[in-house]
Structure 1
Amino acid sequence: MLILPDHWTWDFWLVDDDDDRTHLYFLMAPVSLGDPDLRHVNARIGHAVSTDLRDWEFLGEAIGPGPSGAWDDLATWTGSVIRVGDEWQMYYTGVNRAEKGLVQRIGRARSTDLHHWVKDDGFALEADPRWYEQLDLDAWFDLSWRDPWVYFDQAAGEYRMLVTARANAGALDSRGVIGLARSRDLDEWEVLPPITAPGEFGHLEVPQLERIGGRWVLFFSAYEWAHSAARVADGLAVCGTHYLVADDASGPFTLETRQFFSGDPRGELYAGRVHRTRDGGHVFLAFLQYVDGGPFVGGLSDPFPIVVGADGRLGIDRDGDWRAHVPGAVAAARSPESLSALPLG
């Protein structure tokens, strides 16, 4: 579990190196802001390492906003890392001050050691209006084009990028899709139509594609307020992580069940990631928002083993009372009463 004394942490992504360590990149913002809702426009990308996915060594900031006037000069948000030969490439989300953080783009940084990152000048992938909703505050609160998940598609012989996006037509509360782009060389990208169909959610956040149990599983997350009216009417509007399935990496992807893979009314765990362990298994980690209805925590959970049921459906082994391992003093220190006395900054 990762809970920093001076920073809230939330969305994250992981990658293994050659030395039996897992590198964790995550969004972070100072607790001294006082209000957790302010963390989004103050986000930086933090870095930690671990050998067991439980005990983490915090290494500080990996990537922050660009200089004044840059396309990412306000905040840097969720992304992913891919290895290309002897180089690592991080694709991340950025927003800027001129657009008041309302328009999201995707940028790239490079590293040879997973510790020191250099941003690419001028690389900023944007949503194509042919398929994706542009900024329209009467339709949605932002231009959604974030959370890039980049991987190499062996069958297609090309790199692909999955993106949180919204279709440019349809009911406003159910336009959420996972966008798609492709590249042969990771330098030139072609934005394609979405890989999923709209209909159930306002947005599908932090997408991730994994092969589990002989099928392709596309994970995503949604808050309770980002469900369509139909889901709300059916009593399905919970907060958490869900998945779609397909026999082919290119889809079509469908919901195996309308019930969330990891979800609850309180929204304790969000923005979950699945990590393939070195022995070939899979575990689930998530952004820890709340514990038993308490104040906002802003940390990272311990890993939960993923199990595949007899019917093929995925589940999480939550054996034991995992909540008991959350430092109570940290949660109490981040309560609204205690934070109100902290300086803003």
Structure 2
Amino acid sequence: MPTPLFLRPAEGWVGDLIPFHRDGRVNLFFLHDLRDDRRPGMSWNLYTTSDFAHYDDHGVSLPHGTPSDQDLNAYTGSVVEHEGTVHLFYTGYNPAFPSPRTGGVSQVVMHATSTDGMATWTKHPEHTFGAPDGYAPGDWRDPFVFRPDPEGPWRMLLAARTDDGRPYRRSGVIAQAVSDDLESWEVVEPFWSPGRYITHECPEVFQIGDWWYLVFSEFSDHFVTRYRMSRSPLGPWTVPEHDTIDGRAFYAAKSAELDGSRYFAGWIPTREGSTDSGAWQWAGHLSAHVAVQRGDGTLAFAMPPALHATFTDRRQPPFDPILGDWVDSGEALGAVVPDSYAVAVTPEAPRQFLFEATIDVGANTTECGVILRSSADGEEGYVIRLEPRAGRMVFDRWPRPRTGDGQWQISGDISHEVELERPVAIAPGAHRLQVLVDDSACVAYLDGSVAMSARMYDRQTGGVGLFVGEGRAAFTDVSIATRQ
């Protein structure tokens, strides 16, 4: 059985990731979600990696507290090292500790340190602090600590909300506290207050070259991780044309530098009942993208190179034309269907694989792409569809749910999995599509630039299909690769 592409603990699921680079490896702390109705508490567990292709599982790193401790649930935070001591800042939550100001839910910032290489942690409950006046005590979490000026103070960013009467959906801010000793903190003016979202979860700031980046996750509009850009670590922040790292199925991503590259680690959420129509759930499987800085400072997101290199067994599968006129030149498989549809399908595909193809898209083509776990006729499966006219890549599935026995009673008013679409310019010419598939999870990458994660539950078997709709497309360098 090959090693999973997307990790989860033997028991439970991967929640928010907290990456921390040290000694040539990235420590991927994560919230260990047991989904236990008894709510026994949440700890930080740990994976480590040197390439984002191979991982070591270290189990629990920071244990959660007891029912009488304020950190019964140890939620998201950050890790920094200073003068030989590693400092871990995290969110503490225990419903037995209501806010002394409001009597309602209270989240607090907590502190732990390690001097033995993070083998053990010493907690410092005396350093705990909650939201001051002007902020909602129930949203005071995800402390991110950094020091942009080596001579200046440490800065802590927090996912917070004001309680100054703003509309709830626009009350989110990234609060800010400063410290000279990493122990006592003074809350100062907000770091960022755009009036856009309920909260800005898992904030972080980092630098690549001359650009600084602010990253946060929001569940107000699209439930995605976004980024902003500036020439200064303190802003002002500008919005890139496409400001999301992935879509709905990749959340709470944070990053770390490794060997000169910036990697984002997040989680692919599961769906309730392990069905395609189930509601998205909190936590899931670990997944990672590598960020590539373009000339204008914007970020592209690609497959980690070391992960790609693990697929050593490549084959060029045969495709059987099902609909339309296909021409196989030996180097390319192409179809020209000006006002029609063409599909070709392979036999059964493995449970875990990497699909790759270069798609030469003709001018004015409506759609083209790949069908995963396709039926023999190409009419059932999961579709990764390039839509040049709409400027997007989408994830779709067929058949759609039926609402009755009538011929018209099909969910045709839903154009695709609406939350699973990625904006991208698809000009006429060659585009490289890569798709990782493992069990219920998949991630598609287009042109080493745009990432789209998804889930596939209801169909567990099938082949791979190629399709073209109303236009022309040729598929070259097509392969299905597996790992030994």
> TM-score range with shorter-chain normalisation?
0.7 to 0.9
Is residue 285 of structure 2 the alignment partner of residue 299 of structure 1?
Answer: yes
CA contact (8 A) 1:273 1:285 kept: yes
Q: CA deviation at 1:197?
A: 1.5
Query: Structure 1 vs Structure 2: percent identity of aligned residues?
Result: 27
**Where do 5+ consecutive residues of structure 2 fail to align?**
1-5, 99-103, 304-431, 442-456, 459-484
Deviations 1:59-100, CA, capped at 9 Å, x for gaps: 111123323432223x11001110011110100001113147
- Taking the aligned partners of 2:47 and 2:255, their CA distance within structure 1 comes to 17
Residues 199 and 97 (structure 1 numbering): CA distance in 2 closer, same or farther, change over 3 Å? closer
Residues 294 and 117 (structure 1 numbering): CA distance in 2 closer, same or farther, change over 3 Å? farther
Counterpart code for 1:109: A
Counterpart code for 2:34: P
Q: Secondary structure at the match of 2:187?
A: strand
Q: Which of 81, 84, 88 pairs up with 1:83?
A: 81
Counterpart code for 1:211: Q
Q: CA deviation at 1:155?
A: 6.0
Counterpart code for 2:257: R
Greater Cα radius of gyration, structure 1 or 2: 2
Q: Which of 135, 139, 145 pairs up with 2:140?
A: 145
Equivalence for 1:154: 149
- Taking the aligned partners of 2:8 and 2:185, their CA distance within structure 1 comes to 37
- Correspondence 1:62-77 to 2 at 5 A: 62-73=61-72, 75-77=73-75
- Taking the aligned partners of 1:48 and 1:256, their CA distance within structure 2 comes to 32
CA contact (8 A) 1:25 1:48 kept: yes
Counterpart code for 2:268: L
CA contact (8 A) 2:21 2:256 kept: no
Q: Secondary structure at the match of 1:110?
A: strand
Q: Secondary structure at the match of 1:173?
A: helix
Name the TM-score, length of structure 2 as normaliser: 0.57
CA contact (8 A) 1:2 1:55 kept: no
- Taking the aligned partners of 2:217 and 2:226, their CA distance within structure 1 comes to 6
Q: How many residues align?
A: 298
Q: Secondary structure at the match of 1:49?
A: strand
Q: Secondary structure at the match of 1:200?
A: coil
Q: Secondary structure at the match of 2:130?
A: coil
Equivalence for 1:273: 254
Counterpart code for 1:287: W
- Correspondence 1:248-259 to 2 at 5 A: 248-257=232-241, 259=242
Equivalence for 1:331: none
- Correspondence 1:196-235 to 2 at 5 A: 196-223=192-219, 226-227=220-221
- Taking the aligned partners of 2:39 and 2:298, their CA distance within structure 1 comes to 34
- Taking the aligned partners of 1:314 and 1:252, their CA distance within structure 2 comes to 18
- Taking the aligned partners of 2:82 and 2:296, their CA distance within structure 1 comes to 37
Residues 22 and 242 (structure 1 numbering): CA distance in 2 closer, same or farther, change over 3 Å? same
- Taking the aligned partners of 2:76 and 2:38, their CA distance within structure 1 comes to 13
- Correspondence 1:71-220 to 2 at 5 A: 71-73=70-72, 75-99=73-97, 102-112=105-115, 113-130=117-134, 132-134=135-137, 143-154=138-149, 157-169=152-164, 170-220=166-216
Q: CA deviation at 1:144?
A: 0.6
CA contact (8 A) 1:213 1:308 kept: no
Counterpart code for 1:210: F
Q: Secondary structure at the match of 2:232?
A: coil
- Taking the aligned partners of 1:322 and 1:16, their CA distance within structure 2 comes to 28
Deviations 1:181-218, CA, capped at 9 Å, x for gaps: 00011121101121111311111100010112412110
CA contact (8 A) 1:167 1:198 kept: no
Residues 77 and 219 (structure 1 numbering): CA distance in 2 closer, same or farther, change over 3 Å? same
Q: Which of 211, 232, 245 pairs up with 1:262?
A: 245
- Taking the aligned partners of 2:22 and 2:176, their CA distance within structure 1 comes to 27
Equivalence for 1:289: 269
- Taking the aligned partners of 1:28 and 1:12, their CA distance within structure 2 comes to 10
CA contact (8 A) 1:261 1:314 kept: no
Counterpart code for 1:90: L
Counterpart code for 1:248: S
Is residue 437 of structure 2 the alignment partner of residue 324 of structure 1?
Answer: yes
Q: Which has the higher strand share?
A: 2
Q: CA deviation at 1:256?
A: 3.1
- Taking the aligned partners of 2:12 and 2:270, their CA distance within structure 1 comes to 15
- Taking the aligned partners of 1:305 and 1:97, their CA distance within structure 2 comes to 38
- Taking the aligned partners of 2:179 and 2:208, their CA distance within structure 1 comes to 25
Deviations 1:219-262, CA, capped at 9 Å, x for gaps: 00112xx23xxxxxxxxxx22110122222122234334x4422
Residues 96 and 150 (structure 1 numbering): CA distance in 2 closer, same or farther, change over 3 Å? same
Q: Which of 8, 12, 30 pairs up with 1:7?
A: 12
- Taking the aligned partners of 1:320 and 1:125, their CA distance within structure 2 comes to 48
CA contact (8 A) 1:165 1:176 kept: yes
- Taking the aligned partners of 1:244 and 1:80, their CA distance within structure 2 comes to 20
**Where do 5+ consecutive residues of structure 1 fail to align?**
135-142, 228-237, 329-334, 337-345
CA contact (8 A) 2:15 2:33 kept: no
- Correspondence 1:10-89 to 2 at 5 A: 10-18=15-23, 20-30=24-34, 33=36, 42-73=41-72, 75-89=73-87
